[in-house]
């Protein structure tokens, strides 16, 4: 199939040129629909359009129709209420389902070339400041990128059907699943196939196929798949985040080829590619440099002319022009290819009256997820004490769900009395991540300890997140009495030269409940004659508990 330039896609209808699979659409149908949409948009005076469509075929119609009508297109990342609200002022209309297009169709405008410099597309992503960021591109930038991809891999792919597991709202899916195949004359699947079983079934329907996938799927493909059949795949593209070396190796073993990883971003478009554990090979025309911090700077035909994009990726550039990535220099993280701004979510959490301070980090387990360190306000502590930890964490997750996808909601919560800031008043990200990995505390925090006449007086803070509060009780956490005895025993051992073996307790009194966030005074005194450790916990003027612990030397006989 002869290639078409992106700007020439609406010149004339081509019935024999296929565009999508199931349901099939040919180029003449695409042409008619796009020009009909263009007529409707013009008639209604729509100049700016927000488009969020799951069907890649309908998306192709919407994009070409809008560009033909001189309408600028914004592709929001999702349809969260917060997102809609944010962009509502900047657009005249939203297209979010096929019926929205049906309502606009009118007698088609004549076919024409698109103006590469006048046609606009805007993508949305998380900016490092926390505010969602809008990235404006001209059709020329996109066309340059499509040309480069076809020059690099077109001959390999031939007429492979393009099957995707990623969304088309982002630059990678948009280029690889829609714009590139449109220009190259390759058919593409309409829907995003998130599961490997669906990908397999779609693949089986075509003698030649290629995948536009991401690490989220590629690293979780199981033995239940028909690998001999799948190894017919012409090429496996992966982008959106780093593909772990083991996952790439496993695909190599099963498919007999390395997945082709694409490095890029919404801002820069494609930067480089690689197969296997090789350094990154920049795309033709991409010029790399570095700033004083070692961050990659990029000039490329996919950026506005003359623009140099400063990324936050630290890199090492080799003499042959290839390079390695050394990690991010900012607080943007990627979870399953979704770029997530930690500062934005932290701000959103701060807006809740239960939160005084918070920091987010990444917890790496089977899957990477976010964790939150939270210092509760007095109100938040009240909620914790009277409604329990689950209510608190669920409420805070609910708060965040207005601002992000479910995937970014913190799964691990650590409630702290205060953030352990360093001497510069900062909490380094490595420290946050370490705190999130640590188990919940089992000991009180000793704020102060003084000794007078053989009696110790300690100020203890009861951690809001004490491990013992779980299940004791789910809705009204209280400190178990046995833990109070254990703490008195342990602290006595640390502070005084006393026998080390626990031999019994007497006159135990529990008068007042101890709850998360309380500050207690603990009095400890050892009576060597009787070999008894006296303890008493007080909360201000109220006695909480007291008792005596019988101690004996470790080697003493039991009798």
Partner 1 sequence: MSDKQRLERDIKMLIIEALGLEDISVDDIDSEQTLFGEGLGLDSVDALELGLAIQKTYGIKIDADAKDTRNHFTNVACLAAFVTARQAA
> Binding partner 1 by CB under 8 A: which of 224, 422, 529, 542?
224
SS3 304: coil
In the complex, the smallest distance separating the C-beta of residue 222 from partner 1, rounded to whole angstroms, is 6
Q: Is 442 in the site for partner 1 (CB under 8 A)?
A: no
Among residues 183, 179, 235, which one has the least CA distance to residue 212?
235
Token look-up 């003493």 returns 556
Choose, by CB under 8 A, the member of 222, 228, 306, 327 that binds partner 1: 222
Query: Residue 409 interacts with partner 1 (CB under 8 A)?
Result: yes
Site for partner 1 in 443-502 (CB under 8 A): 470-471
Q: Which of 240-250 are b and which e, b meaning 16 or more Cβ less than 10 Å from the residue's Cβ?
A: bbebeeebbee
Give the residue with the Cβ less far from partner 1, 152 or 407: 407
Position among 413, 487, 534, 537 found at the interface with partner 1 (CB under 8 A): 413
CB of 417 to partner 1, least distance (A): 19
Distances (CA, A) of 114 to 140, 304, 349, 364, 463: 10, 18, 45, 46, 64
CB-nearer residue toward partner 1: 55 or 267: 55
* 94/227 with CB nearer partner 1: 227
Q: Which of 21, 83, 238, 393 binds partner 1 (CB under 8 A)?
A: 393
Closest CA to 142 of 339, 304, 308, 31: 304
CA distance 268 to 505: 69
In whole angstroms, what is the distance from residue 330 CA to residue 405 CA? 21
User: Rounded to the nearest whole angstrom, what is the least distance from the CB of residue 220 to partner 1 in the complex?
Assistant: 4
CA distance 320 to 272: 14
Select the residue interacting with partner 1 from 158, 316, 318, 390 (CB under 8 A).
Answer: 390
Residue 394 sits in the site that holds partner 1 (CB under 8 A): yes
Residue from 20, 83, 141, 369 in contact with partner 1 (CB under 8 A): 369
> Are the C-beta atoms of 464 and 517 separated by less than 8 Å?
yes
Query: Within 160-219, which residues bind partner 1 (CB under 8 A)?
Result: 194-197, 200-201, 204, 216-217
| Closest separation in Å from C-beta 229 to partner 1 | 10
Nearer to partner 1, 194 or 299 (CB): 194
Q: Is 228 in the site for partner 1 (CB under 8 A)?
A: no
- Measured between alpha carbons, how far is 250 from 126 in angstroms, rounded to an integer? 32
Position 316 contacts partner 1 (CB under 8 A): no
Q: Of the listed pieces 65-73, 273-281, 290-298, 411-419, which binds partner 1 according to CB under 8 A? A: 411-419
CB of 56 to partner 1, least distance (A): 18
**Rounded least distance, CB 218 to partner 1, Å:** 10
Of the pair 84, 412, the CB lying nearest partner 1 is at: 412
**β pairing state of 323-328 and 295-299:** unpaired
Size of the site for partner 1 (CB under 8 A): 34
Q: Of the ranges 121-129, 146-154, 276-284, 366-374, which one interacts with partner 1 (CB under 8 A)?
A: 366-374
The answer to whether residues 353 and 377 touch, using CB atoms and an 8 Å cutoff, is yes
Least spacing, CB of residue 100 vs partner 1, in Å:
23
Could you give the residue ranges of the DSSP H alpha helices within 258-412? 342-350, 378-387, 389-401
Q: Is 412 in the site for partner 1 (CB under 8 A)?
A: yes
363 contributes a contact to partner 1 by CB under 8 A:
yes
Out of 220, 382, 426, 530, name the contact with partner 1 by CB under 8 A.
220
Segment interacting with partner 1, rule: CB under 8 A, options 32-40, 113-121, 364-372, 487-495: 364-372
Residue at token pair 């081509």: 14
Angle ∠(431,376,521) on CA atoms, nearest 5: 95
Cβ-contact 372, 277 below 8 angstroms: no
Q: Name which of residues 321 to 350 contact partner 1 (CB under 8 A).
A: 336
Asked whether position 225 contacts partner 1 by CB under 8 A, the answer is yes
- 271 or 436, CB closer to partner 1? 436
**How buried is residue 401: exposed, middle or buried, by Cβ count under 10 Å (0-12/13-18/19+)?**
middle
Distance CA 114, CA 64 (A): 9
Please say which residue, 216 or 458, places its beta carbon nearer to partner 1. 216
Q: Which is nearer to partner 1, 54 or 405 (CB)?
A: 405
- 3-class SS of residue 184: helix
Any long-range contacts for 356-364 (C-beta under 8 Å, 24+ apart)?
356/380, 357/418, 357/419, 359/419, 359/427, 359/432, 360/410, 360/432, 361/429, 361/432, 361/433, 361/435, 361/436, 362/333, 362/335, 362/433, 363/411, 363/412, 363/433, 363/436, 363/437
Interface stretch with partner 1, choices 26-34, 95-103, 246-254, 362-370 (CB under 8 A)? 362-370
Name the segment binding partner 1 (CB under 8 A); options: 131-139, 179-187, 361-369, 504-512.
Answer: 361-369
In the bound complex, what is the minimum distance in angstroms from residue 369's beta carbon to partner 1? 7
* Distance between CA atoms of residues 259 and 131, nearest Å: 33
Query: Which DSSP category does 510 fall into?
Result: E
Q: How far is the CB of 393 from partner 1 (least distance, A)?
A: 5
φ and ψ at 14, to 5 degrees?
-125, 100
Beta strands in 4-57 (DSSP E): 18-20, 25-26, 48-51
Q: Rounded to whole angstroms, how far apart are CA atoms 414 and 73?
A: 42
Give the shortest CB-194-to-partner 1 separation in angstroms.
Answer: 5
Select from 405, 431, 445, 552 the one that contacts partner 1 (CB under 8 A).
Answer: 405
- The residues that touch partner 1, with contacts defined as CB under 8 A, are 194-197, 200-201, 204, 216-217, 220, 222-226, 336, 363, 365-367, 369, 389-390, 393-394, 405-407, 409, 411-413, 470-471
């Amino acid at each position: 199939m002869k290639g078409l330039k992106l700007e020439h896609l609406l010149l004339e209808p081509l019935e024999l040129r296929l565009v999508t699979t199931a349901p099939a659409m040919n180029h003449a149908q695409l042409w008619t629909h796009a020009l009909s949409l263009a007529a409707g948009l013009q008639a209604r005076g729509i100049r700016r359009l927000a488009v969020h469509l799951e069907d890649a075929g309908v998306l192709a119609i919407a994009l070409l129709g809008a560009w033909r009508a001189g309408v600028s297109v914004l592709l929001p990342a999702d349809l969260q209420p917060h997102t809609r609200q944010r962009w509502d002022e900047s657009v005249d209309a939203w297209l979010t389902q096929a019926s929205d297009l049906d309502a606009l169709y009118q007698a088609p405008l004549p076919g024409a070339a698109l103006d590469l410099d006048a046609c606009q597309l805007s993508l949305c992503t998380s900016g490092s400041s926390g505010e969602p960021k809008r990235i404006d591109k001209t059709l020329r930038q996109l066309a340059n990128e499509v040309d480069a991809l076809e020059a690099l891999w077109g001959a390999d792919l031939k007429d492979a059907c393009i099957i995707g597991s990623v969304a088309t709202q982002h630059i990678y899916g948009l280029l690889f699943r829609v714009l590139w195949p449109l220009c190259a004359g390759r058919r593409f699947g309409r829907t995003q196939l998130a599961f490997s079983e669906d990908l397999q079934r779609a693949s089986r329907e075509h003698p030649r196929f290629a995948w536009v996938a991401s690490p989220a799927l590629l690293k979780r493909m199981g033995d239940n798949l028909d690998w001999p059949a799948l190894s017919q795949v012409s090429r496996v593209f992966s982008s959106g985040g780093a593909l772990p070396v083991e996952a790439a190796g496993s695909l190599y073993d099963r498919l007999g080829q390395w997945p082709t990883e694409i490095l890029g971003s919404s801002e820069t478009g494609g930067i480089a590619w690689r197969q296997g554990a090789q350094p990154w090979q920049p795309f033709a025309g991409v010029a790399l440099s570095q700033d004083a911090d070692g961050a990659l700077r990029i000039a490329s035909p996919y950026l506005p002319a003359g623009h140099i994009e400063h990324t936050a990726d630290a890199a090492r550039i080799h003499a042959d022009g290839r390079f390695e990535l050394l990690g991010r220099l900012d607080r943007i993280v990627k979870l399953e290819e979704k770029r997530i701004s930690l500062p934005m979510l932290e701000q959103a959490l701060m807006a809740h009256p239960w939160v005084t301070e918070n920091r987010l980090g990444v917890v790496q387990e089977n899957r990477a997820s976010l964790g939150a360190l939270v210092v509760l306000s007095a109100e938040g502590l009240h909620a914790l004490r009277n409604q329990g930890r689950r209510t608190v964490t669920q409420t805070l997750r609910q708060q965040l769900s207005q601002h992000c996808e479910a995937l970014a909601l913190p799964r691990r919560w650590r409630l702290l009395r205060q953030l352990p800031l360093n001497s510069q008043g900062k909490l380094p990200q490595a420290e946050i991540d370490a705190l999130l990995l640590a188990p919940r505390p089992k000991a009180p925090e000793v704020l102060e300890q003084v000794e007078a006449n053989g009696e110790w007086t300690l100020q203890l803070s009861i951690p809001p997140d004490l491990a013992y509060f779980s299940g004791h009780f789910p809705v009204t956490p209280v400190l178990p009495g046995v833990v109070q005895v254990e703490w008195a025993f342990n602290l006595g051992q640390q502070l005084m030269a006393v026998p080390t073996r626990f031999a019994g307790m007497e006159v135990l009194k529990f008068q007042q409940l101890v709850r998360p966030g309380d500050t207690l005074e603990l009095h400890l005194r050892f009576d060597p004659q009787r070999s008894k450790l006296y303890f008493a916990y007080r909360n201000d003027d109220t006695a909480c508990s007291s008792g005596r612990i019988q101690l004996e030397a470790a080697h003493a006989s039991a009798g």
